Structure 1
Amino acid sequence: MQVGFVGTGAMGAEMARHVASAGFAVSAFDTDAEALRVATQDDVTAADSLAALATASDVIVVVVANDAQSRAVVTEILSCELRDSAVIAVAATNHPRTMIELGAACDAKGIGFVDAPVCYGLQGARDGDLVSLCGGTAEAVDRIRSVLMAYSRAVEHLGPVGTGQLGKACNNMMHWAACVANYETLALAKSCGIDAQTMRETLLKCPARNTTLERWDTTRFTWHQKDMDVVLDLSQQAGLALPLFGAVDQLVKRLGPDQVRALLHEPQAQYLGQPIVARSLAEITAEE
């Protein structure tokens, strides 16, 4: 089976490498010549153009940055003479509406389409330990399952086209809520005299443990604005009030890796513009 990857940034390059290591013939294309050069040094070959990649591939995995890029890439792929059994899989995180539109365009041309965003980020891509959340027909998902499993610990089929992105949105909701909860929890510990990193390591042994806290040192806080905008847009369209996540949307946008590093490892940190002043618990409880 010939697999093509469109987008060889940090995620795409690692995913393509795992697919090649699994024994598939893999080619890649990127408009960034240097990113493509780095990604195609081993078993992944460089395609001369997107059209050349598309016409030679049974499965085309799209790993680009945003909805506009996904639209542009899929539209150009559909203008090519594709193989009869070809399937396009969008592994980027996009709005479900975009996937439904692109899925309809593929269906009109008799081309399979799966939205297959991933969880566990760059480290998961490096380890080949992602989770692929898929929307599409069972036939299309099964046709590409072995490719997705090359870089995933699990491939979850959630329903029709768009539900993969909905599943990713649900994961993002829990992740960003945990980011805010973790930060506020450790801020209280630090304010009352417990070292925040010590409290974090202790909580990882308690029922309060969560995957976000476990990976706290490597959370890069990328794309949270786009992620939460998708969630809130979907909730409005569904007529569903999500007051907690309205607050999470505002709070998580004020956090980043620098704030987390300061909270865990530096004497001074802040939250919402206010300093986190470390004092002893005895001093705090003695105040009236």
Structure 2
Amino acid sequence: MTTSKNLAFIGLGVMGSPMASHLAQGGHQVCVYNRTPVKAQQWLDQHSGHSFVTTPAKAAAEADIVLLCVGKDDDVREVITGPQGILQTLKAGSLVIDHTTASASLAQEMATACKEKQIDFLDAPVSGGQQGAENGQLTIMVGGEQAAFERGQPIMELFAKAVTHMGPAGSGQMTKMVNQICIGGLVQALAEGLNFAERAGLDQQKVIDVISQGAAGSWQMVNRHKTMINDEYEHGFAVDWMRKDLAICLDQARKLGAQLPVTALVDQFYAEVQNLGGGRWDTSSLLRRLQATRPK
């Protein structure tokens, strides 16, 4: 058992809310903050004995470890270094764990800002989606110093099945980029395969039952084929967020001189899904794009 700690959790979206719940269930005292206070109150209504506050600075005032899962680089920067950010109150020797998917340069910037205050920082983006967060089965890829990772690992394991140290600050975000690059290609291939099967007059479910047992099998195939076949996309990881992530990947690729032709193409396909009104649809909605554009 991990010794009970005072934790702050910032960002109670579809990922952050269940992650914070696992911390509370793990025996820690949790103080939460969310930009929309009603979400913080809803979380507190389900977790008596904990607390919520009105600024990140107040959340961090008594915390040993601050965890955050917000939207994008600017959100992270505001939460950590802004006028009401956690560095205004967080004591020396504390630890910040950022679960936001953001840029590697942002992670390095925040690590430096924290170090100036004698505070450790980990960039720790997650994979596994809302289902993984709710079930405590996320995969976490972590950048930062080894000693800081060892401090944070027992906390992160409360909502993860795998927590891996990837290297110095920014390494977690770089690894998450690889994750998103691979997912984009996999989902597009799955969408093309299902569309092909339908046009060929095949039973799509039988096709998946067969090929999922062979070399074509993937997490996306196992977990998304049913809703794709049923044309259901009001769930999962939103296209808007995937495009945000792919923009980070493409920007980093330009800096590295790495080619991402498939990723760039899939990113444009997601732009077409957005034009169909699917910004909040699950990323597997690439199939609907094919169905919308095929000849009648």
Do both share a fold (TM > 0.5)? yes
Is 1:122–2:141 an aligned residue pair? no
> Offset at 1:251?
2.8
Alignment of 1:6-17 (within 5 A): 6-17=10-21
For 2:232, the equivalent position in structure 1 comes to: none
For 1:5, the equivalent position in structure 2 comes to: 9
* Aligned AA (2:248): V
Any idea what SS the aligned residue of 2:12 has? coil
Match of 2:64 among 53, 58, 72: 58
For 1:96, the equivalent position in structure 2 comes to: 104
> Offset at 1:48?
4.6
For 1:84, the equivalent position in structure 2 comes to: 92
For 1:152, the equivalent position in structure 2 comes to: 160
Alignment of 1:80-229 (within 5 A): 80-216=88-224, 217=227, 219-222=236-239, 223-229=241-247
For 1:241, the equivalent position in structure 2 comes to: 259
CA RMSD of aligned residues (A): 2.2
> Offset at 1:90?
0.8
For 2:294, the equivalent position in structure 1 comes to: 275
Identity of aligned residues (%): 27
> Offset at 1:261?
7.1
- C-alpha contact (below 8 Å) 1:88/1:114 kept by paired residues: yes
* Aligned AA (2:293): Q
* Aligned AA (1:275): R
Write the distance in 1 (CA, Å) between the matches of 2:282 and 2:93.
Answer: 47
- C-alpha contact (below 8 Å) 2:92/2:117 kept by paired residues: no
* Aligned AA (1:189): A
Is 1:232–2:250 an aligned residue pair? yes
Write the distance in 2 (CA, Å) between the matches of 1:103 and 1:24.
Answer: 25
Write the distance in 1 (CA, Å) between the matches of 2:272 and 2:237.
Answer: 13
> Offset at 1:242?
2.5
Q: Which blocks of at least 5 consecutive residues in structure 2 are unaligned? A: 228-234
Q: 1:11 to 1:117 in 2, by over 3 A?
A: same
Q: Which blocks of at least 5 consecutive residues in structure 1 are unaligned? A: 264-268, 278-288
- C-alpha contact (below 8 Å) 1:172/1:228 kept by paired residues: yes
Q: How many residues align?
A: 272
- C-alpha contact (below 8 Å) 2:187/2:283 kept by paired residues: no
Write the distance in 2 (CA, Å) between the matches of 1:72 and 1:35.
Answer: 19
1:153-176 per-position Cα deviation (integer Å, ceiling 9, x unaligned): 111110111111111111111111
- C-alpha contact (below 8 Å) 1:28/1:46 kept by paired residues: yes
1:12-32 per-position Cα deviation (integer Å, ceiling 9, x unaligned): 110010011111111101121
1:196-245 per-position Cα deviation (integer Å, ceiling 9, x unaligned): 23322332222211111112135444312111111111111011222232
* Aligned AA (2:265): A
- C-alpha contact (below 8 Å) 1:191/1:276 kept by paired residues: no
Any idea what SS the aligned residue of 2:251 has? helix
Any idea what SS the aligned residue of 1:40 has? helix
* Aligned AA (2:80): V
* Aligned AA (1:242): L
Q: TM-score, normalised by structure 1?
A: 0.87
> Offset at 1:147?
0.9
Q: 1:276 to 1:194 in 2, by over 3 A?
A: farther
Q: 1:203 to 1:19 in 2, by over 3 A?
A: same
Write the distance in 1 (CA, Å) between the matches of 2:119 and 2:8.
Answer: 15
Write the distance in 2 (CA, Å) between the matches of 1:270 and 1:94.
Answer: 27
Any idea what SS the aligned residue of 2:89 has? coil
Write the distance in 2 (CA, Å) between the matches of 1:172 and 1:200.
Answer: 23
